[in-house]
Structure 1
């Protein structure tokens, strides 16, 4: 994938804005970076943002798109803004917080592990990974490797990544925001599954029968 100046700019700007909201919520740089786990989380965010530039993820509508599902994009955007600021803010004022530095370190570990899980499938799918629910040219069904057990590993990574961020700030409200993320996330998954079912038919049905949608052993 060619890294264009525009792509690099928007990726860097959005990452810095996300971290900036967290710093603002924490009460400034000194307060944010007073906690080593938050330093780790910030560095991990920058690294993952840089790695993402080398994927082929896109916003292509491809050959066929479920346009009715586009509402999830602003929903994810709003939850992202709230998730960036509110956990840090509630941590600063002591609202709905729990645990101590151990919880922060657990959050940092989950954040990093889930970030890797989020990005790995993006590399596997290449240009088939779109921000839109769409069938891309030459689209094939991937059922092995990381997709052998869970049909949506990248979404699982997104969910746990959000939980890790919340725990890094010891934020009960952040955990609630993670749970709220399930609403547009499940809507997105169902839309994708309907499109893939219409595209691949029995092959996709057989794949669904032997795998979990999002969380192994649960859903």
Structure 2
């Protein structure tokens, strides 16, 4: 995939996301959507996030594999499809729920700003990991040897970009106070766990004792929470 295609793909995804949010809320009341500072800030963060991904992160940094050995990990297409559908659904349901005060979470503005913080933190991890992976991939190619990534964002969790993605998924429905959207976001994240499990088996086979030592002292997906 060329850099031009990468930019087109990233911004196409952004257009779809904004279209879903605006359509779900209703084009007849976009002023209402933008009236709350948390919702406005979320939209600006989403825009900034995709601009950074599309314009500033090199092509190699968007690959989900962090080592050549991990390129053997194949997607479970059914789980990937269900996850994608879940993402589309919570992007549609969350704004609708907020505007029509339907199945809303209690917590008010406090919960909205918690969601905004989670989105910002998640986006930071995704961008940081992407930059770091691109840098390390160049080192791997120059040395023609695989290297286990344990520094940078990988010091906090073994799968920092997945961690960031989950925070993004959860943060969006929280900003809109959507209980159903939050449930769908959590279910959409479940597919990541299945892929992570397969990826870690390959890493264990590749790096053996080095991986075992790293996995022993670094949490899988959430800092300070042992998921395996």
Q: Shared fold by TM > 0.5? A: yes
- Sort the Cα spacing of 1:68 and 1:160 in 2 relative to 1 into closer, same or farther, 3 A: closer
Matched, 1:181 2:188: yes
How far the C-alpha of 1:127 sits from its partner, in A, is 7.5
- How far did 1:68 drift? 5.3
Shift of 1:120: 0.9
Report the 3-state secondary structure (helix = DSSP H, G, I; strand = E; otherwise coil) of the residue aligned with 1:67. coil
Cα separation, 1, equivalents of 2:9 and 2:75: 26
Task: Show the 5 A alignment for 1:81-92.
Answer: 81-92=88-99
Alpha-carbon RMSD across the aligned residues, in angstroms, is: 2.4
Distance change in 2, residues 1:59/1:101 (3 Å): closer
SS at match of 1:147: helix
Tell me the CA shift for residue 5 of structure 1: 2.7
- 8 Å contact kept, 1:150–1:215: yes
- Equivalent residue number for residue 21 of structure 2: 22
> Quick one: distance in 2 between partners of 1:152 and 1:59?
10
Partner Cα distance (2:205, 2:159) in 1? 18
* 1:13-162 pair list within 5 angstroms: 13-28=12-27, 29-53=30-54, 54-55=56-57, 56-58=61-63, 64-67=71-74, 69-98=76-105, 99-126=107-134, 138-162=145-169
Structure 2 unaligned blocks of 5 or more = 138-143
**Higher helix proportion (structure 1 or 2):** 2
Distance of 1:15 and 1:73 partners within structure 2:
19
Query: What TM-score results when the alignment is normalised by the length of structure 1?
Result: 0.85
Q: Deviation of residue 182 (structure 1)?
A: 3.5
Normalising by structure 2, we get a TM-score of 0.82
Q: The residue matched to 2:62 in structure 1 has which SS?
A: coil
